[in-house]
Amino acid sequence: MPSRPASAGDPSLDRIATVPNLISLIRILSIPVFVILLQRPRTEVVGLVVLVLVVSTDWVDGRIARRTGQVTNVGKILDPVADRLALASALVALTVRGVFPLWATLVVVVRDALLVAAGAILLLRRGVRLDVRWSGKIATFALMTGVPLIAWGEFDRFLAGPALVVGWPVFLAGLAIYLFTTMQYVRDARRAVGHRSV
């Protein structure tokens, strides 16, 4: 079952100061930078580059953690939090600029807020943490690929055609998987609660 007790009993999992965690922290601290840059026409391209760097380094921290044995409980939380904050912040910033429709941003932001709240309640009250599903990772990858492409198409009229033709289908596919994964997490939560109640 894709859920487990919050503590796995391995002391190495309780480490905080690791390279992967530092990378995740840098990604989070970079969010205000691209948000501010995206709001100004003269710096929007630079902001988009920073966003792409934040998105493209998503796999770096996880890969380093696995290959160097630096997987930690903090990292398991920090990495997806960095992903969600980056995605939500980019969508809000681009919606303010008129690049993204409000409904698309609301779907992602509300979904993430509810999922984080539910996960926190499950962890605090039941002592169970839901594992990240591969479908969720695929959805996040698709969304974080589609968002920069769509933004690039809006900012650079020369590349608008190719960027938007690719960006929107990728984003919408990611959104569909995102919602499907939400139902999977709800099912996982119910099973976890039932298992812990026995």
Residue extents of the structural domains in the chain = 3-197
* Model confidence, pTM: 0.82
Stretch 20-49: mean pLDDT = 92
For 43, the 3-state DSSP assignment is: coil
The C-alpha atoms of residue 77 and residue 120 are separated, in whole angstroms, by 11
| Band (17; pLDDT cuts 50, 70, 90) | confident
| Residue 56 CA, distance from chain mean position | 12
Stretch 183-198: mean pLDDT = 75
Q: Other CB atoms closer than 10 Å to residue 31's CB: what's the count?
A: 20
Q: Tell which phi-psi region holds residue 4, choosing left (phi > 0), alpha (psi between -120 and 50) or beta.
A: beta
Residue 14 pLDDT > 70: no
Strand partners, 129: 4
| Band (5; pLDDT cuts 50, 70, 90) | low
**pLDDT score, position 1:** 45
Residue 150 pLDDT > 70: yes
The C-alpha atoms of residue 146 and residue 100 are separated, in whole angstroms, by 11
Higher-pLDDT residue of 160 and 103 is 103
The proportion of the chain whose per-residue pLDDT surpasses 90, expressed as a percent, equals 41
Stretch 11-18: mean pLDDT = 65
Tokens of 43: 């710096």
Residue 132 pLDDT > 90: no
For 5, the 3-state DSSP assignment is: strand
Stretch 1-18: mean pLDDT = 57
- Render pLDDT for 43-75 as a digit per residue (tens, 0 to 9): 999 999 999 999 888 777 777 877 887 777 777
For the structural domain made of 3-197, what CATH number should be given? 1.20.120
Tokens of 38: 């995206």
Measure Cα distances from 188 to 50, 104, 109 in Å: 35, 25, 21
Q: Are 33 and 85 in contact (CB under 8 A)?
A: no
- Render pLDDT for 71-118 as a digit per residue (tens, 0 to 9): 777 777 788 888 889 999 999 999 999 989 999 999 999 998 888 888
Per DSSP bridges, beta strands 128-130 and 3-5 are antiparallel
